[in-house]
Each structure stands twice: as structure tokens, then as C-alpha cells.
Chain A
Amino acid sequence: MEERPCAVLLKFPGTNCDAETARALEEVGFVTETLPVSALTPEKLVGVALVVLSGGFSYGDYVMSGRIASLVTEQKIGATLGEFRDNGGFILGICNGFQILTQLGLLPPGSLVENASGRFQCQWVRLKNLAPTNPYLAHLPEEFEFPIAHAEGRFVTKEAAEAAAYVENGAAALTYLDEVNGSFADIAGLQDESGRVFGLMPHPERFLHRRDHYDPDWKGAGDDESRGAGYYFFRSLHQSISQSN
């Protein structure tokens, strides 16, 4: 029997999308362990293929979103996540996880700040896949939809030109097709140079099934009509990890 790669979902106080994200990972073939950050040590990442920072409000996000979670992570395991990536590990940050990865400096420089609308926005968005060879996006079409739910998803860089450069150099793997939250260059998701670290504001774990779509007549994605785009996001990742081993 094929060995299932292991994913660890790091859970901070206030992380709240870990259960459905674990469900999504298991559905495509991962074994998962949800690890409260209080129990995090460098040894916990041994033998692990994927570390996931799922959505939520770590520590309430009362100071800058993801800030305290990143400090606690560094305090607990120092530079272990960087080494984990250098050794071939994959790191995924969804929503709050993207914010934390940005704070940890594991993604190209930039910040996720309050939406231009000044509001929390729970809606579906159209996305453009700019990195079809990225391990997370390989099975996704050029355009697809995911839901978002965030108050601080506006990606900004010190100069707008930097964000534009991310689109040019491929760091911006995912962009919004419409104006959503005021993100520079409409950036919705970023990859690092290895392609193994990936952060995105939208929630792929909320769109595993055709029925998760708001339109009851939405026709499925990919080769199985009952599947949603989110399923193919996780399946891409699973396949990339299986091939890399």
C-alpha cells in the first residue's frame, strides 16, 4: 500500500479552520495531525511532508494579524520552518496562515492589511492561476473561484512596484480577477522561490464539492463533476509531494 504523506496542522489559540482543512487533506490522501502550538517542538516536524497554517484569528489578531502567532512560533522552534523548507518540506498558509507566513518572512516581503472596504468580506471571488506549474496549482484551470472571508486581506508592499514585480517574476501565483480588497496588483496568493511555501487569502478547503458553490447549477471542475476547485488544489499538492519523495 502506498504510504500516505503526513501533514501537520499547527493550531494557535483562535485558529478555527483546522478541522475542515484536515478533512480536505485527508480526502486527497494525507494523514493529518492537528498540533496545538503549546506542544510544538522542532522534533514534531520530523517525518512530516507538509506544515499547514489554517485560517482563523490567531490570538484574536488584535495587533497586526498573524503577528503574535509568528512570534510564538519563532520562540518555540526558531528557524526550524525555514530549515524544514530547505530540506524539501512544504508549507501552506491559508487566510490567517498566509498572514502568519508573511510575518515569519517565509514569503516575499509584503503585508496583509485591512481591506480597502474597511469591512470583513465573506464572498466568492474569481481567481487567475498565474503559476500553473506551482505544486499547489498544477491541477487548477487558468480561472476558477474560491470563497474568501477576511477583514485583513489587502496585500501591500512598501512600493506598489514591488507587488507588480511579483506578478512579473512569478511570486504572485494567484490574483483576483476583480477588485476585491484593494490588494496591490490584485494579489491573492504568493509562493516563495522554491514554490513549496504558499500563502493565499481564499479558502480552498471550503470548496471541495460542487455543492459548496453558491450556484446550484455550477458544473464541477476537472475530471470529476462532483468536485470543486478546492479539491484540485489539495490534490495538486498531494501529487507534488508524492512525486517529490
Chain B
Amino acid sequence: MPMSDSPTLSPLDQIAEAPADHYRVLKISDLDGDRLLELSRFMKLSLSREDMLAVQEIYREWEREPTDVELEVIAQTWSEHCKHRIFGATITHEIDGATETVDSLFKTYIRDVSQRIFDKKPGFVLSAFHDNAGFIALDENLAICLKAETHNHPSAIEPYAGANTGLGGVIRDILGAGKGAKPIGSLDVFCFGAPDTAMDHIKAEDVIHPLGVMRGVVRGVRDYGNRMGIPTISGAIQFDDAYIYNPLVFCGTAGVIPIQDIDKKIEAGMKVIAVGGRTGRDGLHGATFSSAALDTDSHESDQQAVQIGNPIEEKKAADFVLAARDKGLIGFITDCGAGGFSSAAGEMLEECGGTIDLDQVKLKEPGLVSWEVFISESQERMVLAVDESALPELRKLADLYETELTELGSADGSGILKVTHHGRTVCQLDCTKLHDAPVRTLSSRWEKKTAAVDAPVLTHAGAALRDLFTDFAIVSREPIIREYDHEVQGNTVLKPLAGASGDAPQDAAVLRISGSERLMSMSVAILPEWGKTDPYAMGAACVDECVRQLVASGADPDRLAILDNFCVGNPEDEEELGALVETVKGIAAAAEAYGAPFVSGKDSFYNYFETEDGPVSIPVTILISGMGIVEEAAHVIGASLRREDSLLAIIGRTGAALGGSVFARRHDLGNAEVPATSFDEAFQCYRQYYEAVKQGLILSAHDVGEGGLAVTLAEAAFSGKAGLEIDLCSLPMDDDASKAAMLFGESPSRLVIEVAPENLEKVAKLFDGLPFAALGRATSRHANLVVDWGEETLINESLTDLKSLWKNGLAQYY
């Protein structure tokens, strides 16, 4: 056999200057766009042709070739995951035929909107967008923060480990916020396929059945949160076929910090140290992996990008960090998340510059090459900058809490990020250049998808109500909630399940904050069904629902802050991007009207799956999570009926639109109009409600959400305290609202409140000129939900039966 001239070389070997070593210099200056793209794919950099050409240009200016470490660093920093380039893109957006240009969704609709609110409320938001999490002032001494992240791709491939490290990661975000915030509560929001999905309904190999995904994800969250000792207090689950291939896993954590510890800075001469777990080959390319679509091969080849969490390692690091912060030993801190040391050190040294010595890094296994050490996303690691004089005491603390402390390098004021390994410089980058990614240009379009659809004639409203209580959107999440320790730290005043029976659903959770008289309320809102036909309405309603839940639980409507977490399919698809643009506009309009600024946010793209029949995308999904300040414990209001002699009233107007509702989905109403949100009227109502709370006039309040008014009333009565007798005759509503809309429509901005008979008049007076009406009363004469329309009885159902449907709907699957 004839010998070939040379063995087949990988794209890397072909351009490497020297044989494989712990790092390589790559000759890219002469490559054309195709070859550059090939290189990007081979190295799994997830950089586009334009990005690679920009990199090439930078190196041409510098008159040298990059090392593989440098390319990896640039790929990490420019990845969608780290840089949110679609939110920074210039988008030509076509809406119902008209064209507009959006110069960065982030700047236009998130940052600028929030900045205007900050200016109106001086001293309230203490930090936003630049740190790991945004802070708001709780009182004169303490601040609270909240951060939410997604971990979708890892959870699709390895549900337990993906969700496990998803929560672990966001907890580290809090530990790395300011000079280290104490994590005090977590939220988790999931989107799955339905648990009863038929196996042959799944059209791709190796996709994990939704039931397997759900069980794995819940256990992953459970085992991290419970071991860390952070109560998981808030959450939601959406079930929809669209999430079978791309389940969504949002994890969020709240923290508390002394205000004086929010500002952190790094100065030349400070030492850079790592604390916590060791570095290994696990989690390579997590950031770039999450910036690409999934396919069947992902289930095999990308396993390396998913890791196993070790919460005890993180708990030890957390104990160390909080002790070090209290002793004033921390100058700067951040977590090792996506991009590992390269991101953490990059963030830390981007202005100051400094040297990192990879020989100092403690490894899980020998033989890692330079780029692997530098970008590995091994879990449970924090990076700190500290004064050299603090090192001895920090070492003592590390010994005390049994965590490993490693000196990595130092800051030098040069503005250059320099990385050495085995005595050679493997990376030397001007940090300012490092953070300039090319601005993308994209096009999007959206056309109105809703139409007037006649509401179905309700022949048996009671049966329709029972039917809703079997829907996965509505059934009790109790089996899952009880797997999470939601009371550790001993501060969960309003628990996710409460009321006289201890198992009734609540709208928000409220935490006592040690060291303050004030409390923190936390809630989430997610309505993907709305966005399928009206993304703007979805965005607006999500902000409204989140705000309303916070206010319902007793938070001051003028002291709320929210987060936006987006999940999108393919941003190169004009319609999907168009839905995103409309959603962003919706949340921005609502946030501005309510004066609830965004203080942090995150986006996840490429949530689509390549099947043989073409890509399957998720609907544009927005999670709004929020935090609010409750002035005192006496203001905390639960969502469950408390007395058998009380009166019920409704705040807010009921519209005719049924679109987006669970009822509409179950009755195939397709593209029915989705309710719009009237911000000004709604916010006036919330302020008046808060007045009533402060005057002690509210016994309980439940937001009208999925399932509409009838479901809300029944849920309130699941406390088992009393039956309900309701008459809808005086319900504030639009003239064209059908009975279906009155009972099951999901018009936003509505609250059902319970008041003592002697207080009804006082409360009604507060709502003078606003949509408000007495609806009926609690009763001890029976345990039914009775809803009349004048002489006609629409619903007369046993609450015990409804509750049993509600409690057992998910229990059989989890």
C-alpha cells in the first residue's frame, strides 16, 4: 500500500505552529471565511463567520497569531450565553406591515426603561445590570437581591445533573454579588412536555420522556437546594408539547447583604484567589454549548458539557465567603460560572489587568492542557481579589470551613490579561478588546394572530370547572413543593402551601429577613400560552401578574423590582425573533407603567431541536420574577379563606377575551383574542389595595390567574374554612363578556379579597371610581362553591371534590 504524504490532519493540526503541547499558536491570519468557520466548529467555539473574521482582524492589527487559549477566551466572552448578543443586536422589525429599527433590545427596552424608574425613585435600586445580581434597599442597613438563570440544554440531556448545577450556579451568583450576599431563598420554574405524553408522540431518538425530565429536574433542584440549606419557596410549572424536546429550567436565588458591602473593586497589587472545588475536564464548553441548538447527537456528544454538582463543596465555600465578608477581607468576588476562570478572571481583570498562573490551579485529574484549565466550568468555585495582608486570615478561615484556597495570581494595573502555564505565556489579551464583540444585525416580523372568536355557550359550568381542576396547568404542585425544604433558615412566613389546612396554594412567598423589621416577598409569572398568539400581551400580563402577586402578599407597590428571563427558539427565524421583540415591548411598557424596574435578566436562545421532520422550537417564553418589600409582618396576606362569616369582593375588570386561558385551550378556541392589560387602572387598584392592607382591612387575597375567577374562588376556599356563596351580577366587566369569560377568562389585574363584614364599606370607599364589587360571602352552612348569576345558579360544586381533583392531578405522576 502506498504511503500517503501525511496522515489526515485536523483543522487545528493543519494550522498549529508547533506540535501539540499544553498550548498552541494557531496561524489564522491567512485563512478565508470558510476555513475560519470550520476552525470555529472544530474547536466548538460557536463563533460565526463574522465573529471569526473580526477575531482575525484584531490579530492582524496586533501583528501576531492567537493561541488556542486566547481563541477559547474570546469564544467564551463573545458567546451568546455571556454577552447576550441578540439583545444587543440591531433589529429591523416589521409589525403588522410597518417597519421599525430597534437599536439593541436591551438598551431600548430594559436598561433605559429601568434607568428612568431609578431616576424617579432615588436610593431604591442600589445596583443593577453590572453585578451578578441587582440590589434594592430593604432598609437603611440591608439590601436584597434576586437573580434567575436558565439551565435548559444541560437539563434536556441530563435532567438531574443539569437542574442540580443550574441551582448551584445561581446560588454562586448570589455569593458573588457585591462582596458576597447570603442566599436566603430560591425559586424554580420549569416548562415540560405533559407527563402523560405518549411515547410514540416523541419524534426523535434519545429524547427523554417528559416524566423522566420532570423527575430528574425536581430531584436535582431538591438535592442542591436542600443540602445548601436555602429554602425553595417559589415556583411554577408549565406543561406544553412544545417543551418535549427543549424543556426549560429556570433557577433563581435571592440574597441579602449589608449595604456597605455592595460596592466591590479590584486594585493593582491585590491577590487573585480561588476557593472551593477543584478544576477538571467536566463542563468544557458549557457556555458555547448553550449557544447552539440541540439535536439527537447532543445527547451523546455534549455529555462532557454537563456536570455533577457537589452542594457540600459549595456549602463550605459559602460558609467561608460569608465569614470572610463579615471580617472585611474581600475586595472583589465573583463566581466561576460559564467560561470558568476565563470569565471570572476576565470580569475581574478587564479594567485592571493582571496575571493568572495556571500552574497554581488545583486539578481533579492531571494532564489538562492550558485552555481546558482556563475555561473549565467545574462547579463550586469562587474567585476573589484580596489584599495580600488578608491572606493569612483567609487561609485560616479556609481551614476552619474545610474548603481549598488557592492563590492564582495578582492584579497589576496593566490592563492586560496575562495567563501563564508551565513557564510560558499562553494568553496575553488587551481586556478592552476582549469585550468588543461585533454587533449583529437581524430582521424580525410579527403579524397579528388573534381574531374575534365567539365564546362557547356554557351548558354546564360546574362540569367545565371540574374539568379545569384536572388540567396540568392548574393541579396542585404539592408533591413537588414538599420535596423542597421551604422552611430551612426559619424565616418562611408565607409558605408556598398554607392556609388553615396547610396545603392551599399561595400567590407569593414572604421571607423574614434577619436583622430587619421588613420582609421580602418573592413571586414568579410565566404565561407562554398567551405568547403563541399575542406576545406583547404575554409580556404585559407577566409583569402585571408578578407585580400583583407581590402586592397581594403585602408588598409596597412602589418598592418592587423585577427580572426578565427569556427563552427563545431560533433567533435567525424572523417570526420567532419578532415574537421576542413584541414580548420585550410588552414587559417594558408594563414595567414603566408600574414603576417596577428590571434589575437583572438573562436570555437563552437556540431552544430548538433538529428532528428529521425539521426543527421544533419552543414558543417565546418569558419568566418575570420579582421581589418586593413588605413593611412589617402584620402586612403579610395569604391567599386562603380565613373565616366563615367574611365577605368576598373583586378588584379589577373582567374582559371578554378568552385567549391564552386554560379554558380556551381545553375548548379549542385557537386564536381567540388575548386580554390586554390596562396599566394605569391596574396600578391605581394595587395602590388602593395596599392602603387597605396597611389599615388592616384585608383578611386574604388571591390573584385571579390560570383558570379564571371560578378556579380562584375554589382555591381560596381550599383552606377548608367555609363554603362560598357568590353572585356575579355586579361583577365589574366589559359589556360583551360572556359567562365563560366571567367564570373562566383570565383577564389580568384582578384580585379576589376577603374582608370582615364590618370593613366592606371602608374597603369599597378606597376603590371609589375603580373596578370593585362585592361578590358574595363565606358560609358555614355548606362546603360548596356556589356561583349564581342573579336567579340562575351557574356552579354548585363540592369543594371537597374539587380539592381532591386538584390535589391528585399531579400526584399520580410524581
Contacts and interface: CB of A to CB of B under 8 A. Distances in A.
A56 B636 contact: no
B485 interface: yes
Interface in A27-50: 36, 38-39
Interface string A147-163: 10100000000000000
Chain B binding surface, main DSSP class: loop
B488 A215 contact: no
Contact of A23 (B490, B495, B500): B490
Contacts of B481: 122
Chain A binding surface, main DSSP class: mixed
A109 to B, nearest CB: 28
A38 B485 contact: no
A203 B487 CA distance: 10
Given A14-B312, A38-B402, A215-B498, A122 B487 contact: yes
B315 A38 contact: no
B497 interface: yes
Given A119-B483, A216-B642, A205 B490 contact: yes
Given A23-B490, A211-B633, A16 B227 contact: yes
A38 B493 contact: no
Given A38-B399, A211-B636, A216-B638, A147 B487 contact: yes
Given A13-B401, A20-B490, A214 B499 contact: yes
Given A56-B229, A60-B227, A13 B502 contact: no
B633 A14 contact: no
B488 A55 contact: yes
B484 interface: yes
Contacts of A121: 482-483
Interface string A201-231: 0010110100110111100000000000000
B304 interface: no
B493 A36 contact: no
A116 to B, nearest CB: 14
Contacts of B642: 216-217
A123 interface: yes
A59 interface: yes
Interface residues of B, number: 40
B315 A14 contact: yes
B500 to A, nearest CB: 5
Contacts of B24: none
A13 B312 CA distance: 7
Contacts, number: 104
Contacts of A119: 482-483
Interface in B474-529: 481-493, 495, 497-500, 502, 514
Contacts of B705: none
A33 to B, nearest CB: 13
A208 B486 CA distance: 16
Contact of B311 (A11, A39, A60): A60
B222 interface: yes
Given A14-B312, A57-B312, A20 B489 contact: yes
Interface string B313-352: 0011001000000000000000000000000000000000
A38 to B, nearest CB: 6
B315 A16 contact: yes
A19 B491 CA distance: 11
B226 interface: yes
Interface string B448-485: 00000000000000000000000000000000011111
Given A122-B482, A205-B490, A211-B633, A36 B400 contact: yes
B487 A149 contact: yes
Given A120-B226, A215-B498, A216-B642, 12 more contacts: A14-B227, A14-B312, A16-B488, A24-B490, A39-B400, A60-B310, A120-B483, A122-B485, A147-B487, A149-B485, A211-B493, A214-B495
19 contacts: A17-B229, A17-B489, A20-B490, A36-B319, A36-B401, A38-B399, A39-B400, A57-B311, A120-B222, A121-B482, A122-B481, A122-B487, A123-B502, A149-B226, A206-B490, A211-B493, A211-B636, A212-B493, A216-B700
